[in-house]
């Protein structure tokens, strides 16, 4: 039998210990800010019932859901007619009842409905778990990736949106990013645009097309809109929106002019202005990173109000975060009228950005802080009490697991990025001292046990 060559599924990655230290640095930074703003952690299963997920992400999103085949002989339930069918759409509900979660928001809505009698509103939760999408893998886009979500349900206050903008600003600053854009728009504005064009029936088609503006440009969007049923007159009317740019005030001026006859559009404008007003009170500095982007659509169908998207301007990369307001996401699970708003950080893209900009602190790649050498049985016995004392003081420490030559132990310390090594030989055992070696500069010094603890 031929040996199987090991390989990874496309769009997935292994993570080394050093990479995990860096990833946890990102997660811990995000968690610390979420907690500061009053959010508590929950977790949901990796897979959900397929009918929980389908119909929530739009036509294109539904196609990217990873379906799980039923266990056992799933084909036995098919009729001869169904077996001969080549329609995956008709067969999928019969052979697959579960799917890997596409995001964390829909499972969260399901969680809220199932636990509605056990939670206090407004309910503020955060969740850091992997999600899966059957997308075409490319730089910055993976089939398995982590989302870091925070949502609040049971509150209509636009202060929540403003605080989410503040959370984005604080997290990205803590991670060392200096030039980034937090983009804001409102789905009511988009609904007003469709209404002004007398094409409210094509709102979803319009948002799906506009959402691709960064990828395919104005001409590409116009071509897709024509394919989706818009007229050439509609395209001419829409061009001031598609080509709009400038400051927040300039963008608002374009909207006030375009949406003067649309009540829902004017309500969307008012919500944008209210959120910006809250942000200016919370921290005026945030306004330097806040942009009104009236072509921002966010392709997910469940957004109904404010929509947000975050991009770094220091690296060529897609969005590293996004979110928005949803007025009745729980309604599809039988709990109507519960509004919510949430955001997500794309941790995998953030990792790539920090790596490219060399923004990870040196300690983020460090696991073990100190290695104790092991030359022979006597040195090992002498070292073990010290090893436990270091650990009890919260110092990450390990002993080389078998007596070996010093060179081999130094190679081990370097490979693991361990910053300090404690050398113990006959001289140290007899004197009661320890030799501490700094692996970065090679300096060595003899110290007492108490001095060692202070230095580490």
pLDDT digit string, tens, across residues 43-78: 999 999 999 998 888 778 888 999 998 876 766 666
**Helical residues (DSSP H) of 72-157, grouped into ranges:** 80-83, 88-95, 105-114
Is the pLDDT higher at 102 or at 81? Answer: 102
Give the separation between CA 255 and CA 273, rounded to whole angstroms: 12
Element housing 278 (H / E) = helix 263-282
Instruction: Report which of 137, 183, 370, 414 is spatially closest to residue 276, judged by C-alpha positions.
Output: 183
- Asked if pLDDT for residue 310 goes beyond 80, the answer is yes
pLDDT score for 18 = 85
Q: Given 3-state DSSP classes, what are the helix, strand and coil percentages for the chain, each rounded to the nearest 5?
A: 45, 20, 35
Mean pLDDT of 296-311: 85
Please, what is the average pLDDT of the chain? 89
Whole-model pTM?
A: 0.82
**pLDDT category of residue 80 using cuts at 50, 70 and 90:** low
Give the separation between CA 440 and CA 145, rounded to whole angstroms: 34
**pLDDT category of residue 111 using cuts at 50, 70 and 90:** very high
Tell me: the pLDDT tens digits for 234-278?
898 888 888 888 899 999 999 999 999 899 999 999 999 999 999
**pLDDT category of residue 88 using cuts at 50, 70 and 90:** low
Distances (CA, A) of 376 to 180, 337, 345, 381, 406: 55, 71, 50, 9, 11
Instruction: Report which of 48, 54, 140 is spatially closest to residue 100, judged by C-alpha positions.
Output: 48
Which residue bears the tokens 């590409």? 220
Is the pLDDT higher at 335 or at 174? Answer: 174
CA 31 to chain centre: 12
**pLDDT category of residue 87 using cuts at 50, 70 and 90:** low
Q: What are the strands, taking DSSP E only, across 9-157?
A: 40-41, 47-49, 67-68, 98-100, 123-132, 144-153
């Amino acid at each position: 039998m031929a040996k199987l060559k090991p390989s990874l599924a496309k769009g997935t990655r292994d993570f080394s210990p050093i990479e995990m230290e860096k990833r946890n640095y990102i997660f811990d930074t995000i968690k610390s800010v979420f907690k500061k703003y009053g959010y508590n952690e929950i977790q949901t299963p990796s897979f959900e019932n397929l009918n929980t997920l389908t119909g929530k992400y739009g036509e294109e999103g539904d196609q990217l859901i990873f379906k799980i085949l039923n266990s056992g002989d799933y084909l036995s339930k098919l009729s001869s007619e169904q077996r001969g069918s080549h329609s995956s759409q008709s067969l999928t509900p019969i052979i697959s009842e579960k799917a890997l979660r596409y995001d964390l928001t829909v499972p969260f809505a399901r969680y809220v409905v199932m636990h509605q009698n056990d939670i206090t509103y407004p309910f503020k939760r955060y969740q850091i778990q992997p999600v899966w999408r059957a997308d075409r893998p490319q730089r910055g886009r993976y089939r398995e990736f982590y989302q870091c979500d925070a949502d609040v349900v049971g509150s209509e206050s636009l202060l929540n949106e403003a605080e989410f903008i503040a959370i984005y600003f604080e997290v990205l600053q803590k991670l060392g990013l200096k030039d980034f854009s937090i983009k804001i728009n409102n789905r009511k504005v988009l609904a007003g645009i469709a209404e002004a064009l007398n094409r409210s029936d094509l709102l979803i088609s319009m948002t799906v097309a506009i959402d691709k503006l960064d990828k395919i440009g104005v001409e590409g969007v116009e071509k897709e809109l024509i394919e989706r049923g818009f007229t050439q007159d509609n395209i001419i009317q829409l061009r001031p929106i598609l080509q709009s740019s400038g400051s927040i005030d300039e963008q608002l001026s374009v909207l006030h002019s375009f949406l003067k006859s649309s009540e829902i559009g004017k309500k969307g404008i008012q919500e944008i202005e209210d959120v910006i007003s809250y942000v200016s009170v919370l921290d005026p500095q945030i306004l330097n990173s806040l942009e009104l982007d009236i072509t921002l659509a966010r392709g997910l169908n469940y957004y109904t109000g404010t929509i947000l998207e975050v991009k770094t301007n220091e690296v060529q990369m897609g969005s590293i975060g996004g979110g928005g307001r949803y007025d009745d996401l729980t309604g599809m699970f039988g709990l109507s009228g519960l509004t919510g708003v949430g955001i997500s950080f794309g941790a995998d893209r953030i990792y790539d950005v920090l790596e490219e900009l060399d923004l990870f602190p040196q300690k983020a790649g460090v696991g073990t802080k100190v290695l104790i050498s092991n030359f022979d049985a006597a040195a090992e016995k002498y070292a073990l009490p010290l090893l436990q004392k270091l650990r009890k003081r919260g110092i990450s420490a390990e002993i080389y697991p078998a007596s070996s030559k010093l060179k081999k132990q130094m190679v081990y310390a370097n490979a693991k990025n361990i910053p300090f090594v404690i050398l113990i030989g006959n001289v140290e055992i007899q004197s009661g001292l320890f030799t501490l070696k700094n692996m970065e500069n090679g300096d060595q010094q003899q110290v007492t046990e108490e001095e060692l603890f202070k230095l580490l």
